[in-house]
Amino acid sequence: MVFQPHGKRLKASEGKTILEAAREVGVDITSICGGRGVCGKCRIIIRGGEECLSAPSKTERHTFSDDDFSSGFRLACQTAVAFEGKTVVEVPSESRVNQQKLLLKGLERSVELSPAVKKVAVHLKKPSLLDTRSDVDRLLDALRPNTSWGPQVDYEALKKAPLVLRKGDWTVTATVWKDGEVISVEPGATKGCYGFAVDIGTTKLAGYLVDLTSGKIVAMASMMNPQIAYGEDVISRIRYIMEADMNLSRLQQAIAESINNLINEACETASVPPSEIYDMTVAGNTAMHHIFLGVPPNYVALLPYPAALQSPMDIKARELSVGISPGAYVHALPAIAGFVGGDAVADILATKIHEADDLSLMIDIGTNTEIVLGNKDGLVACSCASGPAFEGAHIRNGMRAATGAIERVWIDPKTLELGYKTIDNQKPRGLCGSAVIDITAEMLKAGIIDYSGKFNAESRTIRLRRNDKSVEFVIARKDETLIESDIVITQGDVREVQLAKAAIYTGASILMKHRNVRSEEIEGIFLAGAFGNYIDPQSARIIGMYPDVPLERVKFVGNTAGSGARMALLSVEARKEAGEIAKRVEYVELGADLDFQKEFLKATYLPHQEADRFPNVVKILGKIRNRG
């Protein structure tokens, strides 16, 4: 078997899938679902030797058209070697793994620097017959002005102390955690003191390497959450965990390994040894938080959906297999409820809505979307399973925010001419989340889809066409793309967008009902999320993703879960604040709301079945239509 254009060869044995074979020789093929035949992203083209391969699976027959099959398309995870032979596999551009561009930064709120760890260099008196104090007591005595109580010495640091003291000729640098525990000892006077903040999303991971002496980010890294291989959403992963005893630790190891990869990548970028990371904070939804800590999330999925753990927790990095300084702690931000986790707490911390007079709505969009409504007088929160559509999954030509992803789309409502912009201005390879929202809004504005989301067959554009399976709208033609086919948005894709945005809007509207708040009373909406690029708030409003308020009240704040995790890394005060936030926020269980289903169905319309809920959008759409 040979992989093109890489030119890598191997003798693949019978029964092995092409995805497995590719991994064996280091050929990276995109796979969001980890080889379960769900995401449809591992497309390959067989350029010879197809007779040696297994017949197309049901999944493939569902994924590809006859045209596709005759062009040689297959899914790498579904295609197995039937017998040895000379197979030529082309990995098309859209299936090659590219560096993902995540919008890592979020709203920055400055915090006074007061990290949980600090380095203290001390010069010790050498032992003598007149002063035979032990190594550790000698060190602790010298540190006393810098510690509040004690002595506590991490076991790993304890074991190293005698050699370290002598190696540094009695000059030693201790890293002290919360003024109470020596978590590391190093010979001589060392300065480097870093922390790592992680946002564990259901689909994406983002990590921030922070210099704890300056508070500055020195490197960032991101990647897909490897748990996707075990289920795309929280519920399916919990189900997987409940299947067998070993599965929880398998997922824990997978996430720990990935975090280690993030750490190593960021450390390499910044030329910082991972051993100089002495503190870590993590924010994630409750299930991700539990899984990372190895705490069973089983009951989060069962009524009344209690978390196993809400309080903030400090756990030794080594217990979690995280490869930073072995005595370091990992601080997990507290959770609000079984389905509203430390990521929402971090969002609140970063947006400060818990301190504001103004009534705000915070929406952290992801596979699981957290919504918080309130102000300094009180906050309510809920969570909705919006799915991964805005992260490029479940969308025919959806992709991660990487080079060549279309990130902006616009349609002239009059001429129906279309324009787009790609990441890094490369030839397009697919659509990332922001473009999926744009295209839906633009098609609605141009009348290409109607308010029920259905394609308007009478649209005067050749971009709209019916293929053998469904109707689709062409965004970029094969000849202008980097892939072997057109980039389209299908009727099915639009449906996915409708479901996703309806889930979010419904969550928001139930919180509003709970607090007895009308749209016009909302003084600020914060849209958050680890996207490839800013979501266009206008597009999102057009499709009815959030309550219709004047646009100037809407702000895209980026990855505030990451920002909040970073604030907690920089300041023990921020950690305290996070603990108080988690206790203060009232959780609203959407499933318990009798109107949920009805509300949800109405919200699938674009922007909404009840037009009077979206006066501004209706006015805009009306204007365009009248013009057109």
Interacting residues with a copy of itself (CB under 8 A): 127-129, 132-138, 140, 151, 153, 155, 158-159, 161-163, 166, 293-296, 298-299, 303-311, 313, 315-316, 319, 335, 337-338, 587, 589, 592
Residues 6 or more apart whose CB falls under 8 angstroms from that of 454 comprise: 491
Tell me how far apart the alpha carbons of residues 506 and 599 are, in angstroms, rounded to a whole number: 6
Q: How far is the CB of 306 from a copy of itself (least distance, A)?
A: 4
Distances (CA, A) of 431 to 83, 493, 528: 37, 11, 20
Residue placing its CB nearer to a copy of itself in the complex, 21 or 293: 293
Mapped onto helix, strand or coil, the DSSP state of residue 284 is strand
Q: How far is the CB of 338 from a copy of itself (least distance, A)?
A: 7
Distances (CA, A) of 269 to 106, 152, 614: 20, 34, 46
Tell me how far apart the alpha carbons of residues 45 and 72 are, in angstroms, rounded to a whole number: 5
Residue placing its CB nearer to a copy of itself in the complex, 307 or 561: 307
Q: Which of 393, 200, 379, 386 is nearest to 297 (CA)?
A: 200
Residue placing its CB nearer to a copy of itself in the complex, 139 or 476: 139
Structural tokens at position 626: 């009248």
Distances (CA, A) of 567 to 238, 252, 345, 532: 29, 25, 11, 22
Phi, psi of 557 (to 5 degrees): -110, 5
Mapped onto helix, strand or coil, the DSSP state of residue 395 is coil
Residues 6 or more apart whose CB falls under 8 angstroms from that of 501 comprise: 386, 540, 543, 544, 545, 603
Residue placing its CB nearer to a copy of itself in the complex, 246 or 462: 246
Q: How far is the CB of 118 from a copy of itself (least distance, A)?
A: 22
Residue placing its CB nearer to a copy of itself in the complex, 162 or 378: 162
If 0-12 CB within 10 Å is exposed, 13-18 middle and 19+ buried, where does residue 413 land?
A: buried
Structural tokens at position 552: 């100037």
Structural tokens at position 557: 């704040």
Q: How far is the CB of 303 from a copy of itself (least distance, A)?
A: 8
Residue placing its CB nearer to a copy of itself in the complex, 526 or 587: 587
Q: How far is the CB of 241 from a copy of itself (least distance, A)?
A: 11
Residue placing its CB nearer to a copy of itself in the complex, 113 or 302: 302
Residue placing its CB nearer to a copy of itself in the complex, 371 or 554: 371
Q: How far is the CB of 188 from a copy of itself (least distance, A)?
A: 19
CA dihedral 173, 177, 182, 183 (to 10 degrees): -90
Q: How far is the CB of 55 from a copy of itself (least distance, A)?
A: 44
Q: How far is the CB of 585 from a copy of itself (least distance, A)?
A: 12
Residue placing its CB nearer to a copy of itself in the complex, 132 or 425: 132
Q: How far is the CB of 139 from a copy of itself (least distance, A)?
A: 10
The strands making up 471-476's β-sheet, listed across from edge to edge, are 464-466, 471-476, 487-490
Q: How far is the CB of 589 from a copy of itself (least distance, A)?
A: 6
Q: Which of 530, 563, 558, 557 is nearest to 281 (CA)?
A: 563
Q: How far is the CB of 130 from a copy of itself (least distance, A)?
A: 8
Check: CB of residue 336 under 8 Å from CB of residue 346: no
Q: How far is the CB of 623 from a copy of itself (least distance, A)?
A: 45
Q: How far is the CB of 302 from a copy of itself (least distance, A)?
A: 10
Residue placing its CB nearer to a copy of itself in the complex, 270 or 309: 309
Tell me how far apart the alpha carbons of residues 243 and 250 are, in angstroms, rounded to a whole number: 12
Residues 6 or more apart whose CB falls under 8 angstroms from that of 72 comprise: 45, 46, 47, 50, 90
Structural tokens at position 384: 């909705």
Residue placing its CB nearer to a copy of itself in the complex, 462 or 594: 594
Residue placing its CB nearer to a copy of itself in the complex, 551 or 592: 592
Residue placing its CB nearer to a copy of itself in the complex, 129 or 457: 129
Residue placing its CB nearer to a copy of itself in the complex, 109 or 318: 318
**DSSP letters spanning 557-596:** EE-HHHHHHHHHHHBHHHHHHHHHHHHHPEE--GGG-TTH
Structural tokens at position 42: 């591992």
| Span between the terminal Cα atoms of the chain, in Å | 55
Q: How far is the CB of 128 from a copy of itself (least distance, A)?
A: 6
Tell me how far apart the alpha carbons of residues 277 and 272 are, in angstroms, rounded to a whole number: 8
Tell me how far apart the alpha carbons of residues 373 and 353 are, in angstroms, rounded to a whole number: 9
